[in-house]
Chain A
């Protein structure tokens, strides 16, 4: 059973640019969520995808968008990057029902 894999592991972008982060969910999981974790804080929920549709969103602006593909992998896109977008971005997968979440190792994004 494969876990959640994220790519790339590290990324440096310039303010105003756009970035795409990728995630492959754990085998058998049909739901994928994205979280942002600033240094010294707990992860904050960005959004969740189920059956290729966004079915929940946290307090993030529309320049944060995502996709889920038929194989349940996912992308997080961030447009017009700001310095405050610098953070660890975590992808988590789960299955329907009251089951736990499995997280990937994260992508460290630095905006300069």
Chain B
């Protein structure tokens, strides 16, 4: 059974600081890994999708890396802004489902 862990559970940083969010998973037989953002009480917004054959993916201030053999992914957010405050979830896909971590809740202080 796939287990996904996200560390830290919560993070508070001043505006402008870079964010580093970690995700680990126990079974490396994945098709891809997806990072999502979730605002309180809302649905999930996809940020980045990394295929199992890729090492990293970038979109604007966001960069995600994937090391499938060691079961790790890292999401970097450069020059954080108060609008980046949210919960960030990573999810790994196998066969027909996503397995999620519990998320990292980020607060960016102005």
Cβ proximity bits A52-73 to B, threshold 8 Å, 1 near / 0 not = 0001101000000000000000
Which of these, A48, A88, A98, A100, contacts B97 with CB under 8 Å? A48
Cβ proximity bits A15-44 to B, threshold 8 Å, 1 near / 0 not = 000000000000000000101000011111
Is B4 interfacial (CB 8 A cutoff)? yes
Is B81 interfacial (CB 8 A cutoff)? no
Bound state CA distance, A35 and B51, in angstroms?
22
CB contacts (< 8 Å) of A88 on chain B: these are 41
Interchain CB contact under 8 A, A55 and B43: no
Bound state CA distance, A56 and B95, in angstroms?
9
Bound state CA distance, A105 and B38, in angstroms?
10
Stretch touching chain A among B60-68, B72-80, B98-106 = B98-106
Chain B interface, number of residues (Cβ within 8 angstroms): 26
Bound state CA distance, A40 and B100, in angstroms?
12
CB contacts (< 8 Å) of B93 on chain A: these are 98, 101
Chain A interface, number of residues (Cβ within 8 angstroms): 26
Interchain CB contact under 8 A, A103 and B36: yes
Q: How far is the CB of A59 from chain B (nearest CB, A)?
A: 9
Name the residue in A90, A100, A104 with the highest tally of chain B Cβ atoms < 10 Å from its Cβ: A100
Interchain CB contact under 8 A, B43 and A33: no
Q: How far is the CB of B94 from chain A (nearest CB, A)?
A: 10
Which of these, A6, A56, A90, A98, contacts B32 with CB under 8 Å? A98
Cβ proximity bits A68-90 to B, threshold 8 Å, 1 near / 0 not = 00000000000000000000101
- Residues of B participating in the A interface, judged by any CB pair closer than 8 Å: 4, 31-32, 34, 36, 41-46, 49, 51-52, 89, 91, 93, 95-103
List 16 additional contacts besides A43-B89, A55-B96, A90-B44; criterion CB under 8 Å: A33-B98, A35-B98, A42-B4, A42-B102, A42-B103, A43-B91, A45-B99, A90-B43, A92-B44, A92-B98, A99-B49, A100-B32, A100-B46, A103-B45, A105-B42, A106-B42
